[in-house]
Structure 1
Amino acid sequence: MAKKSKTAFVCNECGADYTKWAGQCNACGAWNSLSEVRLGPAHTDSRAANFTDAQAGYAGAAGQGKVQKLSEIDLSELPRIPTNASELDRVLGGGLVPGSVVLIGGHPGAGKSTVLLQTLCHLSQKLPALYVTGEESLQQVAMRAKRLGLPADHLQMLSETNVEQICLTAGEVKPKVMVVDSIQVMHMAEVQSAPGSVAQVRESAAYLTRFAKQTGTALILVGHVTKDGTLAGPKVLEHIIDCSIMLEGTHDSRFRTLRAHKNRFGAVNELGVFAMTEQGLKEVSNPSAIFLQRADEIAAGSVVTSVWEGTRPLLVELQALVDDSSLGNPRRVAVGLDQNRLNMLLAVLHRHGGVLVGDQDVFINVVGGVKVMETSADLTLLMAVVSSFRNRTLDRDLMIFGEVGLAGEIRPVPSGQERLREAAKHGFRKAIVPAANRLKTDIEGLQVIPVKSLSEALNALDMA
């Protein structure tokens, strides 16, 4: 008698599972997020054992359960595989780690397949590499490589969507680096659901991750994104992998930013910048020079700030537009910044700066599509708002940074010295910074004005 297959219900948002369906997930509170998952029979595929010893001697292989004392653990540096792209290596934390699993996501057309094809074509000149394509044919990938002028004589290609067959083939080829494009089209025969479903994505990723850990293969998975810009599939996918990075960029911009959201082997929120050209994605070694391509005549409301991205400072232009509102409820729009923080800072500006913009529309934009995730742009934002409100242009060679507290005090930000050196390197001659970030040693050609409160900053710009 055939055994009845068991089912479970998994939350698409957090990955929690339940024995029966419910309208709301008790773990994360999301509504209508439970999807049915059919559980296959618990048996071991004989072919799966073929890759367990494919690369014997890998120190990080899963399944080598040996108890050790904390003091006896080897603290030697993890081996890294350079990708021949310094911006990608920066985001990854120095290169690919053998046995690690990297998930790269992005909107269609962002350049995920292009940057991975470029990387593997160069890596294949030094070590075995395998590119698995499930969405495109081998001819399409070959045509792209020829159009980009990439070395294609050593890269091994495979067109397959069955995960078991991919691992079986990879166990014979024994690549050091493998790309699976994409995880949403992969499927396992024993999972009774369509490719791209919660069950298929979850089980396929787990199977591929087990292969990578047991063989020491650096695995890169390509993931689709939903309409709101998040990675598609169950949220548990982000817990399985070691590194999650997003390739962002609009269709009307030639620049792409690569940002790490999770990295077990490096810094989080590291930023890499690429430029889309006819020869593919090219690295941008000095992104500050790109984001500072300002107009010849600076308009009111334009100020430059320095944000800290991972391990380096980045100079970006912040623009503000304050205009009379024709609505009963004035608009507050922030692009690249947190809108809730904008509302809070405008209240601080009124209470401690004496500038009322409650009846004005306020629009804030970070030039170049950069997303400012830290609070160092607080003071810059307020100075840009006042500049636009007073219709007074600030100096072109002025740079401002600092966090603003609810009491109107200017708080210090991390790595202030490095931010000032970056500003001086790009020709800035004046900087308004928190008093605690004043220079310990003078920087030639840079005048630093330390301020302790919002009123001091306004007086420094003669806009009180």
Structure 2
Amino acid sequence: MKKKIPAKIYICQSCGENFPRWSGKCPGCESWNTIIEETGSGSKFTEKKRTILDPKRYEDPISINKIEEEKFQRIKTGFSELDLVLGGGIVPGSLVLIGGEPGVGKSTLILEVAKNLSNKDKVLYISGEESASQIGLRAKRLGIQSDNILLSSEGYAENIIQMIEHIRPGVVFIDSIQTVQREALPNQAGTVTQLRECTQIFLETSKRLSIPIFLIGHITKEGLIAGPKVLEHLVDTVLYFEGDKLNYYRILRAVKNRFGSVGDIAVFEMKTSGLEEVINRNDLFLFRDADTQEGSVLSVVLEGSRALSVEVQALVAKTSFSQARRMSEGLDNKRLILLCAVIEKYLGIPLSQSDVFANLAGGLTVDEPSLDLAICSAILSSATNRSVSSTTAFLGEVGLSGEVRNVGQLGLRLKELEAIGLEKVILPVSAKNEWKKENSGFQLIGIKHLRELTEYFD
């Protein structure tokens, strides 16, 4: 007897989980009012019948040693920082997802990239949110004029595929994937079923025609791309465009990349004439006008394959509440609480009677243990009113016993600190012994415990 298959299912629009019945709260992601009734292809889900086919309909597997490396030339976007985030440029046949909050500048970014790519080949720009006239107005404001940028407001995936096959553009931009739908499905555009099916058909098209396709994805109120797992595991590269709408700077971060390193960032500045990449990021994240500063120290973090110099700030002030506060911006707040407890226990500084605020200058957000020593130095500097030289950096992880531990990829970090003209680096003793030969431009000072830290304050 043939098993009955339900004609309808309920899918969470946040995590993509399937359920046989509706519920107010998703058991998977614990989101409220995100489960929506959806249907499959046609009016019902149909059972796939097993049929007896030819005995062999597959290609013979080959040894991995006999596979020839595919030779392809990456496509340059015109932005050197964006090329680095992508791993050297756009890979032909790749599917790239760009996510970001509304108004952060995603459409402006891809229009700027389309302008640079249109100098060599045709670019197809599909917009389901704006009409061609609206995009034309923004292009006029940005000073973009090109006959090779082709605009369309098509909303059906099947028609977009036919358009790509007929025009054969160099790159395709779809803004946004939540506005595109399969004509064969009765679901509304933006539902998990539509997202899954549309992304799959674009993936097959990009691989078959070797044409890179960029998909723009919206961010949910939880800060994730709508239908996150549905989209992220299908595409080759996932980029997040971050930034405060009230701030002029934007950060493009790679969180998944099959053709390059993960974690690389590109910094852009939003101007009236469009986005402009920031090459010298030290001007953004560092402030070194003063020779000495209280509560402000320098360090270095890793963002993908690159080291980035940062400024850690701390403010220790007597609390006016019954319980002292611990607040951080750009840093892990739990880590700040832990480090304050270590300082109070092993250095005898009564931080329990003071509010402690920590900040990573420039609006950057980093969660890396290598900043522990810098955070402790900034807190001690502010608490003791002793300044730190602007030519000194602190690098190391701090344990629960107050010991200073080594960090990874130290050579890359030291080269970045040397490049910005620092004279002295405070780091773990084990790191100093390991990289003694690598140092040629500044002094390395190794310490074992936080108790030795105050000796290097002015």
Q: Check if 1:456 corresponds to 2:420.
A: no
Partner amino acid, structure 1, of 2:12: C
Superposed displacement of residue 405, structure 1:
1.4
Count of residues in correspondence between the two structures: 441
**Structure 2: distance between partners of 1:366 and 1:72:** 50
Q: Check 1:29–1:73 CA distance in 2 against 1; reply closer, same or farther (3 A cut).
A: farther
Aligned to 1:399: 393
Output aligned runs, 1:88-107, within 5 Å.
Answer: 88-107=82-101
Deviations 1:221-250 (A, max 9, x none): 111112332212353221111111111111
CA contact (8 A) 1:6 1:40 kept: no
CA contact (8 A) 2:327 2:356 kept: yes
Superposed displacement of residue 95, structure 1:
1.3
Aligned to 1:36: 37
Aligned to 2:54: none
SS of 2:388's equivalent in the other structure is coil
TM-score if structure 2 supplies the norm length?
0.89
Measured on the aligned residues, the alpha-carbon RMSD in Å equals 2.5
Q: Check 1:64–1:105 CA distance in 2 against 1; reply closer, same or farther (3 A cut).
A: farther
Partner amino acid, structure 1, of 2:40: L
Match of 1:260 among 244, 254, 272: 254
Q: Check 1:67–1:180 CA distance in 2 against 1; reply closer, same or farther (3 A cut).
A: same
**Structure 2: distance between partners of 1:112 and 1:121:** 14
Identity rate, percent: 40
CA contact (8 A) 2:394 2:426 kept: yes
Q: Check 1:192–1:442 CA distance in 2 against 1; reply closer, same or farther (3 A cut).
A: closer
Superposed displacement of residue 9, structure 1:
2.1
Aligned to 1:87: 81
Deviations 1:125-184 (A, max 9, x none): 212321111111212222222322234122222121121111111111112310000112
TM-score if structure 1 supplies the norm length?
0.88
Output aligned runs, 1:44-443, within 5 Å.
Answer: 67-76=61-70, 79-294=73-288, 296=290, 299-438=293-432, 439-441=435-437, 443=439
CA contact (8 A) 2:16 2:192 kept: no
Deviations 1:259-315 (A, max 9, x none): 011111111111111122233111222212321134547542111111111111111
Superposed displacement of residue 122, structure 1:
1.5
Between 128-137 and 32-41, the greater mean CA deviation after superposition? 32-41
**Structure 2: distance between partners of 1:238 and 1:64:** 28
SS of 2:376's equivalent in the other structure is helix
Q: Check if 1:21 corresponds to 2:22.
A: yes
Deviations 1:301-347 (A, max 9, x none): 11111111111111111111111112222211111111111111112
**Structure 2: distance between partners of 1:262 and 1:22:** 32
Superposed displacement of residue 425, structure 1:
2.2
SS of 1:269's equivalent in the other structure is coil
Partner amino acid, structure 1, of 2:371: A
Deviations 1:332-386 (A, max 9, x none): 1111111111111112222333333122111111111111122111100011011
Partner amino acid, structure 2, of 1:450: G
Gapped regions of structure 2 (runs ≥ 5):
45-56
Partner amino acid, structure 2, of 1:369: G
Between 101-110 and 234-243, the greater mean CA deviation after superposition? 234-243
**Structure 1: distance between partners of 2:99 and 2:228:** 14
SS of 1:236's equivalent in the other structure is helix
CA contact (8 A) 1:198 1:234 kept: no
Superposed displacement of residue 29, structure 1:
6.0
SS of 1:99's equivalent in the other structure is coil
CA contact (8 A) 2:263 2:304 kept: yes
Between 230-239 and 372-381, the greater mean CA deviation after superposition? 230-239
**Structure 1: distance between partners of 2:226 and 2:203:** 18
Aligned to 1:48: none
**Structure 2: distance between partners of 1:102 and 1:6:** 33
